[in-house]
């Protein structure tokens, strides 16, 4: 989720907000709203909830703006704050009740990848990510959110790059194992992951 | 990160395509930034929470603690002869006779003062705690 880097502009806006000019925060909101909503979207895959999470992340950023020391980019601080919020909120109310076992199984007796059209398969993979154990889920989500940039994902997660790589590897292994699993016997149809079940 | 996997069912390329897809991006709704700013303005205009008046409360709290300490010392000095007397009582005579000096001296004004000197600061401290923490 690339936004043209302009750290000086962010810093100037932050300084104005800290000086009491609340309206200057709008510059930060307009600049970072799309990445932040998308970050939340990847965690919950629900537009309404993603916007609520992004709004809460902006509010927290506003409350704790003085805590940004400027050592890291403003976006790094903001994404870390938002990712933490998403993780906490997902712990409280999970995005989906599907487990890895419940993610869409191939419906026909063919090669599972060939059996699904590309769009459906991609959606199934995205939903399967949400069913991963949280530490693998977070690494996978942030790696792809940051356009496959491991250092950026590590900074957002606040863990070493090696940890992100290991979690990413394990997360991908889990996804592969899921999508290469022999299909269930006919009549034992699983719930399609492409159709989110209402949270209990 | 990219590596060949023995399982041909789902390749890294397919994972990358699914998870890094441009299609997997959404745009915030048109009123999102305005809604955020409305919440931010509300947050900014809300009165700050009233901080606990430590400057005013601290001298009183320190005085209460000092008073409690002084009263404990006073009480210990008042009770000390009785404790020694109880300890010196023959063990064979049982708990009743060990408590006898305490019971006999219950009406002693010094002991009464000692007990009051402990009870009053304790009650004051409990009342102060209730006032501060609301429980």
Residue A195 lies in a domain: no
CA R_g for chain B: 36
Distance CA A193, CA A168 (A): 22
Does A25 sit within 8 Å of B10, measured CB to CB? Answer: no
Chain B residues with CB within 8 Å of chain A CB: 1, 5, 7, 9-10, 12, 14-21, 23-29, 32-33, 35-37, 39-41, 43-44
Q: What is the ipTM of this complex?
A: 0.73
Q: Do residues A117 and A57 share a domain?
A: no
- Asked which of A65, A92, A119 is the last residue of a domain, the reply is A92
Tokens for B102? 């305490």
How many structural domains does chain A have? 2
Residue A188 lies in a domain: no
Interface test with A, best of B20, B32, B35, B36 (most A CBs within 10 A): B36
CA of A194, closest CA in chain B: separation in Å?
13
Q: Which residues of B39-65 are buried (b: 16+ CB within 10 A; e: fewer)?
A: ebeeeeeeeeeeeeeeeeeeeeeeeee
Rounded to 5 degrees, φ, ψ at A112 are -60, -35
- Judge whether A18 is closer than 8 Å to chain B, CB to CB: no
Q: Do residues A110 and A171 share a domain?
A: yes
Q: What are the structural domain ranges in chain B?
A: 12-45, 54-133
Distance CA B86, CA B80 (A): 10
CATH number, position A25: 1.10.1740.10
- Residue A182 has what pLDDT? 55
Better pLDDT: B14 or A65: A65
Got the DSSP string for chain A? ------HHHHHHHHHHHHTT-GGGHHHHHHHHHHHHHHHHHHHH--HHHHHHHHHHHHHHHHHTGGG--SSS-HHHHHHHHHHHHHHHHHHHS-S----GGGS---SSSS-HHHHS-HHHHHHHHHHHHHTS-HHHHHHHHHHHHTTS-HHHHHHHHTS-HHHHHHHHHHHHHHHHHHHTSPPPPTT-PPPPTTSPPPP-
Q: Do residues A49 and A70 share a domain?
A: yes
Residue A187 lies in a domain: no
CATH number, position A172: 1.10.10.10
CA of A28, closest CA in chain B: separation in Å?
10
- Judge whether A47 is closer than 8 Å to chain B, CB to CB: yes
- Residue A185 has what pLDDT? 46
- Residue A56 has what pLDDT? 96
Does B1 sit within 8 Å of A165, measured CB to CB? Answer: yes
Does B23 sit within 8 Å of A22, measured CB to CB? Answer: no
Tokens for A127? 């939903």
- Residue B123 has what pLDDT? 85
Tokens for A188? 């034992």
- Residue A25 has what pLDDT? 95
Cβ-Cβ contacts under 8 Å, A148 against chain B: 1, 16, 20
Does B37 sit within 8 Å of A25, measured CB to CB? Answer: yes
- Residue A199 has what pLDDT? 36
Q: Do residues A13 and A88 share a domain?
A: yes
- Residue A113 has what pLDDT? 53
Tokens for B94? 């049982």
Neighbouring C-beta atoms of residue A159, cutoff 10 Å: 16
Q: Do residues A67 and A118 share a domain?
A: no
Residue B43 has pLDDT above 60, yes or no: yes
The DSSP symbol for B30 reads T
Distance CA A157, CA A159 (A): 6
Residue of B nearest to A58 (CA): B36
Does B9 sit within 8 Å of A111, measured CB to CB? Answer: yes
Residue of B nearest to A24 (CA): B37
Residue A185 lies in a domain: no
- Judge whether A32 is closer than 8 Å to chain B, CB to CB: no
Neighbouring C-beta atoms of residue A65, cutoff 10 Å: 17
Residue A80 lies in a domain: yes
Distances B22 to A70, A129, A167, B15 between C-alpha atoms, Å: 31, 17, 23, 13
Residue of B nearest to A145 (CA): B20
Residue span of the structural domain in which A43 resides: 7-92
Interface test with A, best of B22, B24, B45, B48 (most A CBs within 10 A): B24
Reference A27, options A41, A37, A12, A42; nearest CA is: A12
Mean pLDDT of B108-127: 77
In order along chain A (200 residues), what is the average pLDDT of each group of 10 residues? 70 92 94 94 91 96 91 91 92 67 49 60 84 92 90 92 94 86 45 36
- Judge whether A130 is closer than 8 Å to chain B, CB to CB: no
What is the overall mean pLDDT for chain B? 77
Convert the pLDDT of each residue in B59-116 to its tens digit.
888 988 998 888 888 888 877 777 777 777 655 555 555 666 666 666 566 777 777 7
Answering whether pTM is above 0.80, one says: no
Q: Do residues A74 and A117 share a domain?
A: no
Residue B132 has pLDDT above 50, yes or no: yes
- CB B97 within 8 Å of CB B89: yes
Residue A164 lies in a domain: yes
- CB A118 within 8 Å of CB A75: no
Residue A141 lies in a domain: yes
- Residue B9 has what pLDDT? 62
Tokens for A100? 């890895």
Q: Do residues A52 and A73 share a domain?
A: yes
Q: Do residues A85 and A22 share a domain?
A: yes
Using a pLDDT cut of 90, give the percent of chain B over it: 13
Write the CB contacts of A191 (distance below 8 Å, at least 6 apart in sequence): A98, A102, A197
Q: Do residues A70 and A133 share a domain?
A: no
């Amino acid at each position: 989720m690339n936004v043209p880097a302009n750290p000086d502009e962010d810093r100037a806006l932050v300084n104005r907000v800290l000086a009491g000019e609340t309206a200057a925060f709008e510059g930060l909101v307009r600049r970072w709203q799309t990445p932040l909503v998308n970050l939340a979207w990847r965690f919950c895959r629900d537009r309404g909830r993603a916007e609520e999470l992004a709004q809460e992340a902006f509010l927290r950023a506003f409350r704790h703006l003085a805590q940004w020391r400027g050592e890291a980019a403003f976006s790094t601080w903001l994404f870390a704050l938002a990712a933490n919020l998403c993780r906490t909120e997902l712990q409280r109310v999970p995005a989906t009740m599907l487990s890895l076992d419940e993610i869409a199984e191939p419906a026909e007796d063919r090669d599972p990848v060939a059996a699904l059209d590309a769009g459906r398969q991609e959606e199934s993979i995205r939903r399967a990510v949400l069913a991963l154990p949280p530490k693998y889920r977070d690494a996978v989500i942030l790696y792809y959110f940051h356009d496959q940039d491991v250092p950026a994902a590590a900074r957002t997660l606040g863990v070493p790059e090696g940890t992100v790589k290991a979690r990413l590897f394990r997360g991908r292994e889990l996804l592969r194992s899921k999508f290469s699993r022999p299909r269930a016997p006919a009549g034992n149809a699983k719930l399609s992951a492409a159709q989110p079940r209402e949270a209990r | 990160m990219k590596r060949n996997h023995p399982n041909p069912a789902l390749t890294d390329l397919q994972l990358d395509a699914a998870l890094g897809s441009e299609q997997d991006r959404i745009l915030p709704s048109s009123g999102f930034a305005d809604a955020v700013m409305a919440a931010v303005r509300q947050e900014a205009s809300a009165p700050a929470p009233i901080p606990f008046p430590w400057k005013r409360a601290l001298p009183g709290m320190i005085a209460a603690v000092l008073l409690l300490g002084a009263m404990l010392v006073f009480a210990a000095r008042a009770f000390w002869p009785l404790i020694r007397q109880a300890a010196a009582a023959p063990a064979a005579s049982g708990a009743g006779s060990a408590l006898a000096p305490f019971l006999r001296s219950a009406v002693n004004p010094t002991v009464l003062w000692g007990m009051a000197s402990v009870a009053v600061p304790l009650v004051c401290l409990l009342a102060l705690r209730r006032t501060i923490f609301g429980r």
